[in-house]
Structure 1
């Protein structure tokens, strides 16, 4: 979890591979209307995110129900979003990839072929609620190398 540009997909893909589990790319589950809105520079509202979060939660629940492990990339910026995902699978552990605004903007600006413009990074920071101490979450510096992040998460999950 984290704002656009924190490395959710890159870390998620590498972590899923290291753990030998399924990977769910949350961005691919956005309805076309939401993608169009974001591509035009419009931030999503809580209401617009509900169906998307449900699609991710349902995909996670289905995979877990089939006996598979799963890593999902999803911004999950607010506690209410994380709570919604927990409603599908109470065992979810969130990995918060914490990054500063300038790094996030630079990374998003350098991406090719993605619908999310760098202009929306500020709107993500505006609503971001870091996980609370009572949430099952691991907070990591998203500027660390992907391999280091994956090893840290894998160790934490195994312990």
Structure 2
């Protein structure tokens, strides 16, 4: 009985050592990465394609404002998504777009204001203006086509 426990401990220790030494990976072919997503991984674990992808992503991140990249890393670390450099790049690109163009709601409001400014608003009631705004949101979301939107808009305006 004590021999079984001792063997269990020894084999468990060897398994753990094998996992971290790379022996397990060589024997089974299953990759186990123990590096952080933000530290440059050792080339022993990366094949040529992965290395090229990593360098491309790092080059893309270097073009983005460091404050945005830092915020993107924080967002990815606190999210449910995998903490990978690819997700950091996607989050950084999203934050950069929001900083440059505003949120989706802000862009919709700006676009709607442009549409309303083209129409003489003094001839339209508030209720019709609300209907126009709903139509515009449906068109922007892709629920209705441009032709349907224009047809309904013309009905409301007249």
Category of TM-score, reference length = shorter chain: under 0.3
Q: What's the TM-score, normalizing by structure 2?
A: 0.21
Greater gyration radius: 2
Higher relative contact order (CA 8 A, sep 6+): 1
Bigger share in strand: 1
Q: What's the TM-score, normalizing by structure 1?
A: 0.21
